[in-house]
Amino acid sequence: MNQNFISFEGGEGSGKTTIIKQLKIDLEKQGFKVLQTREPGGSEIAEGIRQIILNIANVKMDPRTEALLYAASRRQHLVEVILPALQNGNIVLCDRFVDSSLAYQGYARGLGINQIYELNRFAIEDLLPGLTIYLDLDPEIGLRRIKDNNRACNRLDLESLEFHKKVREGYILIAKQYPTRIKVVNGSLSKEKLYEGVKKIVLDYFNINGD
C-alpha cells in the first residue's frame, strides 16, 4: 500500500469525479502536490483501451476479455502515470482502481472476486491504495443522475438494473473484506454533505486540521 495513493469507488452516477476535482483543489491549498486521474484510462495507451471497453458497439464482449482489458489498461496507467507521480511526492486521487474490477467483473459478472484479484495482482504488483473511499448509492438514483446530466452513454450504462444492483452488492462485500482501507460514505447525501464527509475522511487520514 502507498499512503499517498487514494482511490474512489462507486457505481455509475455516484459523483466520484466531482468530489475528486474539489478535493484536489482543497489539498493543493494545504500545500500538497496532487494528481487527479481515472480508470480505465489516464494515459494514451490506457485511454485507447478505455474506448474499446466502453464502446456501445462492443456488446458481445466476453466477460473475461473485459476483465483482461481492464487489467491491461490498469497496468499501463500504473507505470506511466501513478507510480511516477507517487515517486515525485504527489498525492494521487484516482477515479476507480482494482476494486472496480472486483465488483464489476469479479462479483457482478460472476467471475469470482478472488480470481479477478489474482489476475490484477500481475498488473499492479500488489500495489494498493492506502485509502479507498466507496460512495454507496442506490443504482436507480445513480442511473437517473446520468440520464438527467445528459452524459454520453457507454456500454456499462446499457446493462440491466439488476447488474448494477449486483455491482453494489459486490462493493459492499469488498468493503467488509477490507474495512481498514475502504471507507463507506452514504452517496445519497446532498452534494455539500457528501463532499464534507469525504473531505473529513481524507483530512483525518493525513492528520490535517480542516479548520
The answer to whether 170 and 102 have CB atoms below 8 angstroms apart is yes
| Interatomic CA distance for residues 158 and 123, integer angstroms | 28
Q: Residue count of the chain, please give it.
A: 211
Taking the C-alpha atoms of 210, 127, 172 and 141 in order, what is their torsion angle to the nearest 10 degrees? 70
Per residue of the chain (211 residues), give pLDDT as tens: 889 999 999 988 888 999 999 999 999 999 999 999 999 999 999 999 999 999 999 999 999 999 999 999 999 999 999 999 999 999 999 999 999 999 999 999 999 999 999 999 999 998 999 999 999 999 999 888 887 777 777 888 788 999 999 999 999 999 999 999 999 999 999 999 999 999 999 999 998 875 5
Q: Which CATH class is domain 2-205?
A: alpha beta
pLDDT for 210? 58
Res 156: pLDDT: 84
Among all chains, which residue has been given the C-alpha cell 489498461? 73
- Judged by DSSP in three states, 183 sits in strand
pTM comes to 0.93
Domain ranges of the chain: 2-205
CA distance 115 to 105: 10
Distance CA 21, CA 34 (A): 10
